Amino acid sequence: MAENKELRIHVEHLKKSFGTLEVLKDISTDIHEGEVVVVLGPSGSGKSTFLRCLNRLEDITAGTVIVNGNDITDKHTDINKARENVGMVFQHFNLFNNMDVLGNMMLAPVELKKASKEQAKEKAVELLTRVGMQDKLHAYPAQLSGGQKQRVAIARALAMNPKIMLFDEPTSALDPEMVGEVLAVMKQLASEGMTMVVVTHEIGFAREVANRVIFMENGYIVEEGTPSEVIDNPKEARTIDFLSKVL
Amino acid sequence: MIQILVGFGPMMLKALGQTLLLALLGLFFACIIGLIFGLMNVVKNKACNIIATIFVDVIRGVPMIVLAYFIFFGIPYLWNNMLGIGGMTLTALTAGTICLALNCGAYMAEIIRAGIQSVDKGQMEAARSLGLSYGVAMRKVVLPQAIRTMIPSIINQFIITLKDTSILSVIGFPELVNTTKNVVGITFKSFQAWALAGLMYLVVIIALSRLAKMLERRLNRGRE
């Protein structure tokens, strides 16, 4: 069913090395419009690196990555242009500390001439309302809780109208009581049809929201399929081993 | 003391003015040099990194008095006598400004490099992930945060540079030390003249550091 939809991300024989350390050994996968793909795996398996290769925050050592039709492994591709359509949410939020919430929301749309100041502000308020942060327009990041920061960070990424959203362990740095509010925003986003790739340890979220789960270990995709296939009936010994530790 | 104050006070005040002029010119160009080489040190480009490192190492490895003699006497000699092109004269003010700007610029470059590197890497990544270019991300996100941490070091460097102008008395620029030497030469009142010179430096530097502290506090206001 997903195959009939537009191809958003095409990854072919992706390899990534840091010096002599080969982190991604041979990754191939396709992600289509509206899919929510959750990437699971033990730490050091390369899942975050894989995600960061999708908007070339990491230089790609070998292979092909095509995102929204742009070959981002091609040196001639305007990477800044390609990134405009790919939102990213980080483990440590990375809100701009020198700006208030509105400033964070408006910087990229205004700088990149996607919107006038007034339009950007209007859109920012609308998005912040969606994530329940409309009361904190003029707060600085240092004045927000972790969960609030992450919700602003998600809204900031959405302000660019991305076609794809990447989440790099978005709840891992949060206090337990704040995980729910961030996952709720992500669930809502998924239900609206956003194409999402999520690196997370939240198995519950994967089971409930994901169309597809990718299990990675040691630089390879070990197993992939629907949540019920990978999480509830894993076939590979390494997947079974990992899930027995986290479930 | 009174005699020195009345007789040579105006002359020494004028010399203090020359000292301040030299310091301001030097600092102005030092800021530009520091920003250029500081940025060259942090960009992802090996050639830029190497050039910046060599600049900083060379300037820091040479005493300023040697640099002053080299610029004031050495460069015109190279130009006029060795290369035979001729016609080059450097005023003491020009040579002094170049010397101060290079010297202070090298230290500023290090301060700026350290300041930029103290900003969490995630700030740049988040800006780039939104599609912003390296330049915009640096200007709008990283540098404003870096400057906050750099301010105390920059103020410190400014004060050092102001005091370093005294070294430029050796190339004959009529700043405070040079003028005081002349006053002593005329009056032989070493104690009074040097005490007065010291006092003048002290007043200016204390006033400047107070001003800097106020500025620093204002910049940090409203931030946790």
Q: Who contacts B182 (Cβ-Cβ below 8 Å, separation ≥6)?
A: none
Q: Is the pLDDT of residue A183 over 60?
A: yes
Q: How many CB pairs under 8 A join A and B?
A: 68
Disruptive mutation site among A68, A92, A97 for chain B (greatest number of B CBs within 10 Å):
A97
- For A123-163, how does the pLDDT look when each residue is reduced to its tens digit (9 = 90+)? 999 999 999 999 999 999 999 999 999 999 999 999 999 99
User: Which residue type sits at A201?
Assistant: H
pLDDT of residue A114: 86
User: Which residue type sits at A159?
Assistant: A
Disruptive mutation site among B130, B141, B143, B151 for chain A (greatest number of A CBs within 10 Å):
B130
To the nearest whole percent, how much of chain A has pLDDT over 90? Answer: 94
Cα–Cα distance between B127 and B185 in angstroms, integer?
62
Mean pLDDT of B71-97: 91
Given an 8 Å threshold on Cβ–Cβ distance, is B125 in contact with A157? no
Q: Do A34 and A2 form a contact (C-beta atoms < 8 A)?
A: yes
pLDDT of residue A1: 47
Q: Do A155 and A109 form a contact (C-beta atoms < 8 A)?
A: no
Angle, CA A30 vertex, CA A216 and CA A56 arms, to 5°: 75
User: Which residue type sits at B7?
Assistant: G
Q: Who contacts B118 (Cβ-Cβ below 8 Å, separation ≥6)?
A: B146, B149
Q: Is the pLDDT of residue B219 over 80?
A: no
pLDDT of residue B224: 44
- For B182-199, how does the pLDDT look when each residue is reduced to its tens digit (9 = 90+)? 999 999 989 999 999 999
Q: Who contacts A6 (Cβ-Cβ below 8 Å, separation ≥6)?
A: A32, A33
Chain A residues interacting with chain B (CB cutoff of 8 angstroms): 55, 57, 80-81, 83-84, 86-88, 90, 92-98, 107-108, 111-112, 140, 142-143, 153, 156-157, 160
Cα–Cα distance between B25 and A53 in angstroms, integer?
47
Mean pLDDT of B198-218: 90
Nearest to B65 by CA among B99, B31, B92: B99
- Cβ burial A2-17 (10 Å sphere, 16+ → b, else e): eeeeeebbbbeebbbe
pLDDT of residue B173: 92
Nearest to B8 by CA among B195, B185, B183, B176: B183
pLDDT of residue A247: 77
Cα–Cα distance between A154 and A87 in angstroms, integer?
8
Q: Is the pLDDT of residue B62 over 80?
A: yes
- For A107-127, how does the pLDDT look when each residue is reduced to its tens digit (9 = 90+)? 999 999 888 999 999 999 999
Nearest to B222 by CA among A24, A149, A72, A143: A143
pLDDT of residue A3: 55
The interface predicted TM-score of the complex, written ipTM, equals 0.93
Confidence of residue B221 (pLDDT cuts 50, 70, 90): low
Q: How far is A82 from chain B (nearest CA, A)?
A: 7
Q: Return the residue matching tokens 């939809």.
A: A5
Chain-wide mean pLDDT for chain A?
A: 94
A90 closest CB neighbour out of B122, B131, B133: B122
What's the token pair of residue A140? 């600085």
pLDDT of residue B223: 55
B224 closest CB neighbour out of A83, A92, A143: A143
- For B134-185, how does the pLDDT look when each residue is reduced to its tens digit (9 = 90+)? 999 999 999 999 988 898 888 889 999 999 999 999 999 999 999 999 999 9
Q: How many CB atoms lie within 10 A of CB B38?
A: 26
Q: Is the pLDDT of residue A2 over 80?
A: no
Q: Is the pLDDT of residue B222 over 60?
A: no
Mean pLDDT of B129-138: 96
Q: How many CB atoms lie within 10 A of CB A238?
A: 18
